[in-house]
Amino acid sequence: MVSMDNQLMVSNFGGDDGFAPDLPGDSHVASALNKISTGSADTSHLTGAQKAAIIVRLLVAEGVDTPISSLPEDLQTMLTQTLGTMGLIDRKTMCAVVDEFVEILDQIGLSFPDGLDAALEMLDGKLDAGAAQRLRSMANGTGQNDSWTILENADLDELEGLIAQESLVVGAVLLSKLSTDKAAKLLMKLPSDQAKALAIAVSQTEAIAPETVARVGKTLAEQITSKPPRAFALPPSKRMGEILNASPASARDQLLRELEATDKDYANGIRKSIFTYQDIPARLSERDVPTLMRELANEDLMLILAAGKEEDAKTNEFLLSNMSKRLAESIREDSTALPAPEQDNYEAALSRVAGTVRRLADEGTITLIVPKG
């Protein structure tokens, strides 16, 4: 016998009172009702609730479990009250109601879950963990306010800050509840000793009760949501770093020197947020160079080589050494035929190459190495 919340809604089962309860619709019901001899009679005088009461009374008499408790409370009340007022029904009317109901059942092909909770129960073990978590939040009516959804959507910097001020076990619970992709990014962002300690602490989470995990999620989420809203997503040093990333090197260096004279900490924060052509050897993995070269115009690298700047030599060699030998030789040879570029053109080429690296990193195509310290 299927459960009431997974049964058929008999939406057109007679009457004008709007009563359309979920009534059993599986083979047990059909079998029980088909035992009753049929007949014809006018049923237009019966309401939907009265017809439903007749069917329920027959099913109970046949010993078929009818889980009325899963109906909305108002319908349970109406059905019970109707059962208590029906009195006697002649056999022809009873059989006509049965015929009408069985005909409706025969016209229905499939029974679908009633609501998101029932659908989740049916698909238990078949959904991705992240999708299941988001759907349960929706089913609970919490949506984006669900604690673990809030933490899943939090910035990595915010999560790193939470882990820094919590115990290892709490950090391990957080790591375990995040999606695999998010947890991996967070783990890679942490210092190696802290990441190792957290990985070990995950082994201590096996016996933690679900209630404890829920409290941990609620407490951590509150720390994020309790912060006052900010007009800007990024801190000032990062915002300024993004601006200077797109600025000519000469203007950028001059401004940084002037900032250091007035606010050294702010200037250092900006420097950490800036990514330049000269940063490539320290931040880009050798295996990602071919990926970068597929996105770059060879002309930009040729122009930079033609400029012959000493500060670019390390990056030039890094890129040429990690691309195909044939391409490297072609770029070297073609660059020697170019005249020294104008400063503006040279700095624009530097910005385009560095900007391409940043874009690929933002897209997740490549992963930049996090500098130590």
Res 336: pLDDT? 93
pLDDT digits (tens, 9 = 90+) for 243-280: 888 777 778 888 989 998 999 888 888 888 888 899 99
Res 230: pLDDT? 65
User: Cα–Cα distance between 270 and 60 in angstroms, integer?
Assistant: 76
Percent of the chain with pLDDT over 70: 77
Res 371: pLDDT? 67
Q: Would you say the C-alpha torsion 74, 77, 79, 81 has a positive or negative sign?
A: negative
Reply yes or no on whether the pLDDT at 33 is more than 70. Answer: no
Which band of pLDDT confidence, cut at 50, 70 and 90, is reported for residue 130? Answer: low
pLDDT digits (tens, 9 = 90+) for 270-298: 888 888 899 999 999 999 999 999 999 99
DSSP characters over 26-62: SHHHHHHHHTSPP-----TTS-HHHHHHHHHHHHHHT
Which band of pLDDT confidence, cut at 50, 70 and 90, is reported for residue 49? Answer: confident
Which band of pLDDT confidence, cut at 50, 70 and 90, is reported for residue 3? Answer: very low
Closest CA to 50 of 8, 90, 17: 17
User: Cα–Cα distance between 55 and 144 in angstroms, integer?
Assistant: 43
CB–CB of 165/177 below 8 Å? no
Q: Is 146 left (phi over 0), alpha (psi -120 to 50) or beta?
A: beta
Give the pair of three-digit tokens for residue 161. 């800050």
Instruction: Give every CB contact of residue 151 below 8 A, 6+ residues apart in sequence.
Output: 159, 174, 177, 178, 217, 220, 221, 224
Res 139: pLDDT? 57
Which band of pLDDT confidence, cut at 50, 70 and 90, is reported for residue 116? Answer: low
Report the pLDDT averaged over residues 64-74.
74
Res 125: pLDDT? 67
Reply yes or no on whether the pLDDT at 345 is more than 50. Answer: yes
Reply yes or no on whether the pLDDT at 31 is more than 90. Answer: no
CB–CB of 44/151 below 8 Å? no
User: What b/e string do you get for 10-47 counting C-beta neighbours within 10 Å, with b at 16 or more?
Assistant: beebbbeeebbbbbbbeebbeebbeebeeeeeebeebb
pLDDT digits (tens, 9 = 90+) for 205-233: 888 888 888 889 888 988 887 766 666 76
Res 137: pLDDT? 58
Res 288: pLDDT? 94
pTM of the model: 0.41
Q: Which residue has the tokens 């109901």?
A: 101
Reply yes or no on whether the pLDDT at 305 is more than 80. Answer: yes
pLDDT digits (tens, 9 = 90+) for 147-166: 888 888 888 888 988 898 88
**What does residue 296 show for φ and ψ, rounded to 5 degrees?**
-90, 155
Which domains are delineated in the chain?
Answer: 4-106 (no CATH), 146-225 (1.10.220.30), 275-363 (1.10.220.30)
DSSP characters over 235-276: -HHHHHHHHHHTS-HHHHHHHHHHHHHH-HHHHHHHHHH---
